[in-house]
Every structure is written in structure tokens, then in C-alpha cells.
Amino acid sequence: MTVKFDFEDINLIAKKGIVKSRKECNTSVNLNGFTFKVPIIPGNMSAVIDEKLCVWLAKNNYFYVMHRFDIDQVKFVKMMHEQGLYASISIGVKNEDRILLAELKQLNMIPEFITIDIAHGHSNAMEEMIKFINNTFAKTKTKPFIIAGNVMTKEAVKDLEKWGTDAIKFGVGPGKACITKLKTGFGTGGWQLNALQDVASTATKPLIADGGIRCNGDIAKAIAFGATMIMAGSILAGYDESPGKIIKENGNEYKEYFGSASIFNKVEATNIEGKKILVPYKGSIAATYKEIEEDLQSAISYAGGKELSDLTKCDYVIVKGTINNGDDR
């Protein structure tokens, strides 16, 4: 018998505090030689992030991953580098992506981060692309940091690490705008936190937990259960800096938020695994990032520590869960 759980089913258990002020707690995370203020990443989705927001995030020492839909990646990398900022792009696994990478190498405009972003990351196509990137940039002065995903099993994590990725994006279908579970029957929707815990014991490289975050406390829980960073969509959508227009409905203001695999983002209405929802308009994103930092500092203090890693030392209680009497594979 196994109890499967998700974020809302877990409470972390506090330890004796050791700091005089929560401001002493360090929420930063290091990735590829860069230090970022908080371990949160806006989803690399056209409804969440655009060039303008990437610039703001990079200038303020936050991590981002630019989406890969209908943009000039070469122009984007050039723009970021001309401003003295790091470049973090997304690609797929098609031949056009290989052509793009070859062009970036030829122009000596090598992005610091490359995220291979496909729905089913544990695949032959992913293996080939990881090896292609490593071979393409093997002799360059700087090699891009490779993030690959998305996956949902220990076997997948082991394989991606063996193939040569530097970090792994974890989670299939737990996002608010994702309907993969409904369309295919597969995914970590409803047990993303439990699934993260399962693979964290296997991973030797950073895990980026993607999806299922509904509030700031969930960020602390994801860190506690093994994530190095967290990617979120809906909670980082709906801001002045977010793409899209403000929509007024019944006296309230909203912005559109839709999944990358939705008909609203895809060129063709095939293999649809996402939907569109309205998220409340929230004003400026700067205040939210500050709030996330403060809430994480509080979480670290409750954990009896000073660093993000101290969250991993917490005990927890399952306050609700689903009992599974079947095969736990």
C-alpha cells in the first residue's frame, strides 16, 4: 500500500530557528556559474514570457528560459549579449533546430543556456539532440548549459544524465493549462510532488520541477522534495510584463494564459494537450518576485536553517492523500 500525494497534501514540519531575522536567509541558487536570487523560472511559454521580460529578469539576476515559438532566436541571443546579459533559449529536436545551433556557433553567438523543450523528453530524439549539442560546441571556448525535458521517471533521469544533459526539467502535465492526463492518460498531474521525490534520489544533476505550483509555499515544498529550481506558469502570468492584452470581464481584469501544446499556440490543430484560461491581472511582476523571496526566507527560517538546502532536511506530514493498493511501478 502506497499513499500518493501532491503539494496540497503536504505540510512541512518546523525546526528550531537559528536566525535573528528572516532576512539572513539566503534564497539564491547557482547554475552554470550564475547566481540567481530565487529558484523560480517563468514557464517558457509564449503566454508567460517574451523578450522584454527576459531582459528585466536577466538584469535583476533572475533566471529565465525564452520560449521557442515564432521568434528569431539568433536576433534574441544577439540582443541579450549586446546588453551584457546572458542568453537562455529553447529549442526542439527537429532539423531546423540543428541548423539554428550551427548558425549560432558560426556567428560565435553561443547562448549560455539551451533548453531542449519537448513534451516527451525520454526519447531517441532527445538523446540525439543532447549529443548533437555537445558535439557541436565541444571545441568552442564556452559550452552551453543544457537543460532537457520533460520527463517523469527515474529511468528517464538516468538516461538524460548519461546522454550528457546538465539539468533535467521534470514533470509531465501538472500545469493548470495542461490537459495531457485527460488527453493521453499519462502524466504527473495530481502527484507531481510525490513523483519529484521518487526521482530526486536518483538524480545527480539539477532537477527543475515544472508545473503544479499554485502558491509560494509550493516552491518551498518542491525544494524540500529535491528540486534545484522550479518552473511555474500560471502564478507568473497576468502581469504588466507578461505577454498579452488586459481583458475586462464582469468588471474584473484578466490576461490570457494557455499551454504550449494548446491550439492557441500551435500552428496546426494537431496533438492538442493544452487549453486556455484567464488569470487575474496582477500589476507589476517585481512585487511578486520580492514576495517570493521573502516567503522563501520565512520558509528557510521555519526549516531551522539559513540556506535553501536546509529545506531538504525538514520532516513532513501527509494531511491528505490517495491510497494506492495496486502495483507501484
Question: Catalytic site residues?
Answer: 178
Report the candidate in 145, 163, 199 with the shortest Cα–Cα distance to residue 30. Answer: 145
Q: Where are the alpha helices (DSSP H) in the chain?
A: 51-59, 73-82, 95-106, 124-136, 154-163, 180-184, 192-200, 216-224, 285-302
Nearest-angstrom CA–CA distance, 46 and 71: 10
Cis amide bond preceding 60, omega within 30: no
Identity (one letter) of the amino acid at 278? L
Nearest-angstrom CA–CA distance, 175 and 186: 13
Burial class (CB in 10 A: 0-12, 13-18, 19+), 51: middle
66: cell is 525564452
What angle in degrees, to the nearest 10, is found between the helix axes of 216-224 and 285-302? 50
Nearest-angstrom CA–CA distance, 102 and 115: 16
Nearest-angstrom CA–CA distance, 147 and 119: 14
For residues 43 and 175, is the Cβ–Cβ distance under 8 A?
Answer: yes
Per-residue exposure over 229-261, b if at least 16 CB sit within 10 Å of its own CB, e if not? bbbbbbbbbbbebbbbeeeeeeeeebbbbbbbb
